[in-house]
Amino acid sequence: MTTLKPGGSLTTPADESVHHPADFPVFLRLAGHRALVVGGGAVALRKVRRLLRSDARVAVIAPSLIGELRELALAGAITHVSADFTPARLDGCRYAVAATDDRALNAAVADAATRRGIFVNVVDDAELSSAISPAIVDRAPVTVSISTSGLAPVLARRLRERIEQALPARLGALARFMGAARPRLNPQLPPHSRRMLWERFLDGAGRDAALRGDGARASAALALAAAGVSLRGEVYLIGAGPGDPDLLTLRALRLMQQADAILYDRLLDPAILTLARGDAEQICVGKRCGQKGMPQAAINAELVRRARAGQRVARLKAGDPFIFGRGGEEAEELAAHGIPFQVVPGITAANGCAAYANIPLTHRDHASSCVFITGHTSATGELDLPWPSLARRDQTIVIYMALRSLPHLCQRLIDAGLPTQCPAAVIENGTRSDQRVLEGTLATLPRQAALADIDGPSLVIIGEVVSLRRRLSEATPPQSAAQAPAADRMAVSVA
């Protein structure tokens, strides 16, 4: 049932957390095996074409066939059985398709196939199907299939259109070139260097030569790539952004998918880790406030050890590695041991959280400067900060790791000259779907934070720019779940 919510928006059962299991993706090798198609019309023809491309031995059961199917039968490409379907027709089959406009007949085919343990696709009937026919992007031998588990076939076709536009028409030529070269080159290299070789080839001129069909130039580029493959690994110090996976940079994504191992912060959104290479080892090395984690010296040593063993290691950090991320310390250690590394900047927690909370960090009328500081206290419990230079009314203060010291921090800023009514905010889980924003003042914010029982990673912003948030939020449509209206994302404001 589809109903209308108050305010005019539609709601369907999908809005009510109905569980739809995802299909298990797999490609069937049908070359030389028998496949049965029940139906002789246009839909059956589409299925037959695809099966023939897989070199299956196709039999079609139908009283009559449309023109192209009839021609295929006359040419011997398919076997035509002009008879009614019986379960015995499935004997010896590896795959079956029911493509008639008779649901009862389709159901009979599906039941008979299921009883024999044969996967069956019933066209436009996911309920009867044990195999869903995906939307296909064909660049043989490269095949991309898209499935929505039968829920939204039009969406699958739209995604196929996008992918069709993105993939080169001669992608198959590239795959064939690489497939011919692998048996010769791979045995000469250890496993971790093989992947490095092929990624270097795909990132260089050899890929374009293979796509053009220029085998000589492609082979020359591949030889150069093979000569340059080093047995020594490298490290990628990657800023993963403040939380929302959509804020990951393209370079970060590419290097994550190359890495053999990933050392990540505990604060990282788990969705980001799903974008890494599927077989990469994942090691959590971070810690949350007040909890023990791997010491920094041990993290440094682990990066060096793995790189020396030939691994490409991605060190994933929330935000940016060089802004309160200790990336500088890791870079120093790697440089001292001669380990090559790359630094991949990320969207900082300050930039990302402020943007998703609709708080500009600078503004011509409110803040001409912005300063980032840490709320971490020293061993004596003190905050050693330049309080007089911080307490400026035309400045925005962004404080990382400030929750534990928030009462002391706010009081010191008041003592240094900022008014008690200076706007201030805490952003918890910034940029994520469960983002919370607490608005208050220097005088009220510590108590608000204590009452809100904040447990997630948080950022504090202090300055007149915070007062712009409500006006900007009302005027700007949300770009993500984290920017939804205040009532929908549990925004908290206490006077």
The residues carrying an active-site annotation are: 265, 287
Using alpha carbons, select from 176, 189, 178, 179 the residue that is nearest to residue 227: 189
Longest dimension (CA), the chain: 94
CA-derived radius of gyration, the chain: 30
The structure tokens listed for 402 are 């400030």
Tell me phi and psi for residue 20, to 5 degrees.
-120, 110
- Assess contact for 38 and 100: CB atoms under 8 A: yes
Tell me phi and psi for residue 327, to 5 degrees.
-65, -30
- Assess contact for 20 and 152: CB atoms under 8 A: no
The structure tokens listed for 157 are 């076709």
- Assess contact for 252 and 235: CB atoms under 8 A: no
Q: How would you list the strands of the sheet with 458-462, edge to edge?
A: 369-374, 395-400, 458-462, 423-428, 436-441, 492-493
The structure tokens listed for 115 are 């009883």
DSSP 486: G
Using alpha carbons, select from 338, 328, 344, 346 the residue that is nearest to residue 234: 338
- 3-class state of residue 60 by DSSP: strand
Using alpha carbons, select from 86, 134, 133 the residue that is nearest to residue 113: 86
Q: What is each CA distance from 463 to 415, 423, 430, 440, in whole angstroms?
A: 16, 6, 18, 11
- Assess contact for 195 and 257: CB atoms under 8 A: no
**Amino acid symbol at 313:** V
Using alpha carbons, select from 242, 258, 285, 280 the residue that is nearest to residue 199: 258
Query: Could you write out the DSSP letters of every residue in 82-124?
Result: -S---GGGGTTEEEEEE--S-HHHHHHHHHHHHHTT-EEEETT
The structure tokens listed for 90 are 């499935």
**Amino acid symbol at 375:** G
- Assess contact for 121 and 151: CB atoms under 8 A: no
Close Cβ partners of 114 (under 8 Å, ≥ 6 residues apart): 120, 130
Strand partners, 61: 38, 81
